[in-house]
Amino acid sequence: MFEKINKIAGIVGSIGAIIATIIIFNLSQQKKELTFTILSTNKIVDLNKPMLEKLSISYDSFKVTQLYMIECKIENTGNKELTPDDFLDEIIIDVDRIGKILTVNLDLYPANMSSDFGYKLYYMRLKPDMLNPNDYIIATLFYSCDTSDFNPPIINSRIKNGEIKTINKSQNGKGFKFYLPFGKTTETILFWVTLIMNLFYVLIILYASFKYNQDKPFYVNIIVFLILSFSIMFSILYMIKDM
């Protein structure tokens, strides 16, 4: 009786895994997502009071006592291209108004991407022509502030039928985060591998239920365990990819 219940539970669990995989795959389709990541915040100039009596640093006639280099990454982490029409407005990155932006350096990946951009004292704006999946922009802000107690930059923008995520690695980057740089083709391959292995698992259970005798359950269980292990592994890899 217990073995029959175990077999039925295995079949139901396998069917549930197949359904869950299909649901995850469908939810991942046509996802518009932009991720704003603060990669680092480094102080590159720090003049204390004794030094100010002998040394002066200025940028375009603006005297600098403390200067920070803030590196930010704007990346299309979805699986659909983003065009200017997908944004309700330009991409705006605001800084704390207790300091000022002196200059901004922009790096585009891929290099043939083009983007209109500009900056004022308290914000910078971006308007890329197109961001394909995994395309990204590195914006390096040189921010002058007399104190280290300032709020990190924030992104102000909205995507039609999409979302914008913010990650601050300069403060919370010590925690472990599993990341897999999968593209769309790899996602599709992983999905079908997972689906086929789950289907194979169901067929093995059904075959064992009708073909094998009760005196040979051990080898069947080993085979099922190995197949299920690989199936679960691929499912987990696919799910944590977008975490």
pLDDT digits (tens, 9 = 90+) for 160-214: 888 888 888 876 334 444 444 445 566 666 666 766 776 676 666 656 655 655 5
The total of other beta-carbon atoms located within 10 Å of residue 93's CB is: 24
In which residue are the tokens 């979805």 written? Answer: 78
Long-range CB contact pairs, 201-209, < 8 A, 24+: 201/14, 201/227, 201/228, 201/231, 202/11, 202/14, 202/15, 202/18, 205/7, 205/10, 205/11, 205/14, 206/11, 208/7, 209/7
How confident is residue 48, by pLDDT bands cut at 50, 70 and 90?
Answer: confident
Q: Convert the pLDDT of each residue in 62-97 to its tens digit.
A: 888 889 999 999 999 888 899 999 988 889 999 999
Residue range 28-32: mean pLDDT, rounded: 71
Closest CA to 33 of 165, 220, 150, 194: 165
Is cis: bond before 110, omega within 30 of 0? yes
